[in-house]
Structure 1
Amino acid sequence: MTKTEFNVNDILENYKRRDEERREFIIHEGYRAIEEIIKEVNQRGSLNEADIYYGTPRPQLSFSDVELGYMLTSMMEYATNHVGNPADEKCELENKLAYFKYKDEIVQIFEVYGQGTDSWFLKPSDDTVYKLNNTAYGVYLNQFDDFINYTKNKDNESKKVSYSTTILNDITGGYTVGRGSK
């Protein structure tokens, strides 16, 4: 029987690296990406990662399915944490929605939970756009510029924390010292 080593530091570093890649993509390519997403959604009606491989016709995007996933996940997390999420009552599966406005366009994110999670960008109905612009339902409308600025601020905070963590690790030799430790 072989012994498998489990290195927590490697897992944490890998997670940190992916999180940095996600933030870097959003900060530096987010505006271009949302313009391409909106263009594709207006043409196709919806867009998700599978469309990049299996879509007919294929979407004309300058970024990968992984980067599209970064946008979907990050924008949904932002909406959940800042305004909450309504649900589509017509859908039989558990779900949540998010709405983002960029310039004069509104894009919707639909996330469904079943035997896994799937999410995609979609063009909201005219009725939904009316409700977002003219009723209290508009509380769910996020500004894309606010999302980008939030991501930039999180990136700056992360760099400060990383620097502090590096200093702490240098001082403690990598050991975490908690309360009551001897």
Structure 2
Amino acid sequence: MKNTEFKVTSLLEEYKRRDEERREFIIHEGCTAIEEIIKEVNQRGSLNEADIYYGIPKPQLSFSDVELGYMLTSMMEYATNHVGNPVDEECELENKLAYFEYKDEIVQIFEVYGQGTDSWFLKPSDDTVYKLYNTAYGVYLNQFDDFINYTINKENESKKVSSSPTILNDITGRYTVGRGSK
């Protein structure tokens, strides 16, 4: 039993550590990262983690493929939770899209599902940009600054929770059990 408890605890601690790393990167490097992403997308047309290893020419980024993954995942989660996601009807695979604006530039995230998930940043078409600015489709346009502020707020909430003592309540509410008690 203790071995199982240790594995679950280790897994949860690892998840928490990665989540903290992701938020720290976004909060402290997010604006620089999105500027570099937009620059590369404008030059290349798209950008994903594999481009860092196999791209010709190599992208000029000040961050790693893991950190690019943090941006892709976090931005897509934010869009999904705040405005929902349109889909590309022409794509045969299940997919979803997200759009972010930063300093009058728009970047699109395209995520597809098949025998796994793959996602990448790309430059939206002129038609899509027109729809985002001039039609009801614009509801899907996220402001990158709002995403950063949301991440900062989540970090502040996390710090408040972790600084308070952890007490688990019994379902019946008859007594409380401190962390690590049996």
* Residue in structure 2 matched with residue 70 of structure 1 by the alignment: 70
Match status 1:41 vs 2:41:
yes
Q: After superposition, where does 1:1-182 map in structure 2 within 5 Å?
A: 5-6=3-4, 7-164=7-164, 167-168=165-166, 176-180=168-172
The alpha carbon displacement at 1:177 in A equals 3.9
CA distance in 2 between counterparts of 1:130 and 1:153 reads: 32
Amino acid at match of 1:66: V
Structure 2 unaligned spans of 5+: 176-182
Q: CA RMSD in A?
A: 1.5
The alpha carbon displacement at 1:97 in A equals 0.1
Aligned residues: 172
Amino acid at match of 1:5: N
* Length-normalised TM-score, structure 2: 0.91
Residue by residue, what CA displacement relative to the aligned partner does 1:126-172 show, whole Å, maximum 9, x if unpaired?
Answer: 000000011100000000000000000000001111112xx125xxx
The alpha carbon displacement at 1:115 in A equals 0.4
* Length-normalised TM-score, structure 1: 0.91
Structure 1 unaligned spans of 5+: 170-175
Identity %: 83
Amino acid at match of 2:74: S
